[in-house]
Amino acid sequence: MNTVFNTESFRDDFTFRNSPVAVRRFPFPFHEDKYMYAVNMEPHVPAGPEGHAYRAPIDVDEHYVSEMKDREMVLREDPLRAQALPHMMAAQWDTLELLMEKQAEGFPELFSLTKNGDQWHWINRPLGIDQKFIFGDTSTLPYEPMDYIMRQTQGDICIVDQRDSQLWMDAGVVTTQADWSLDFDLGMNFMEWHGPVPLAHQIGVFERALKFLLNLQQGKPVRRLNWTMTINSRLDTSPENYPKWGPDRASVAPENVGNKVHLRCELQSLWRLPRSNAILFVIRCYLIKMEELVAIPKWARRFHRVLRDLPPELIDYKGLTRYRPTVVEWLSKYDDGKATSPGIFPD
């Protein structure tokens, strides 16, 4: 992998842009021309064409350095975006180990991890980090282990503890979320933090998902895709910062849909951790502008149909009500009415 890292901003001037390579590796979330909530779990194993976001266990792409700078700014402005309850220290070290190992495994030219007993040596070449530390000794790192590695990992994480036949959100680093708050959800169980989602409860989606996850095995991670839409290329669309991004929804017009409106996809991978028996949710956010998405004709047709026929409850829940008709109309010119081949990968 010969990655050239972009210099870009996810706030203010919004200079984010995907290269043609990044467009084709985007994890497009719709396998058919309609959408409804589902458990939609599958094994987290390599899939898709070479270079796709599914190829590595923990993905790294051209936005890595810029995303890490944005995370640093968010954590400096709001330290509560990284929190862990006291009993989660073993899970923090589990998380550090998994993320270091998987990044070094997937991108050995960018990262390396050497272990000699509890004496570990981590090298992060893109960020210029060369860190020797003692595994299990927090005093040998500049931050607690979860905080340390998440300043070097794209996406957010939640670490959920398993007890009393439930999953509890007891730790996380969350700076690129789609309108939910770690500070609010910390300490909630699985059913509580999914409470606001419409329609899914009526068909038992979360009951089935919980049963599945309680039986998740170590070494057999799974993944799923989730999505929403974002106006401008803002990673941090948190409730805490709603005054900064909420008004953007009123700025969409036919002439700016292509550059301003983004499909926001979350690639969620779930891992059973070995020492703590907790589950790590890695929630990697990808953005793609409408003018980039329509470069893949199959995606343009499919997303037009999904957005056009989306149930009213989901339109409201995902915050699309104000601008969806404008986007549907804009996308319609890319839908020739032809049948669309199955699957999520570009044809």
Catalytic residues: 224
Q: What angle do CA 52, 285, 131 make, to 5 degrees?
A: 85
Would you list the DSSP string of 185-251? HTT-BHHHHTTT-TTTTTTTHHHHHHHHHHTPPTT--EEEEEEEEEESS-S-B-GGGHHHHGGGGGG
Q: Give how far the C-alpha of residue 163 lies from the chain's centroid of Cα atoms, to the nearest Å.
A: 25
Question: In whole angstroms, what is the distance from residue 327 CA to residue 183 CA?
Answer: 33
β pairing state of 156-163 and 279-289: antiparallel
| C-alpha torsion angle, residues 221, 274, 189, 99 (rounded to 10) | -60
CA distances from 298 to 33, 231, 260 (A): 10, 23, 21
Q: How many CB atoms lie within 10 A of CB 346?
A: 17
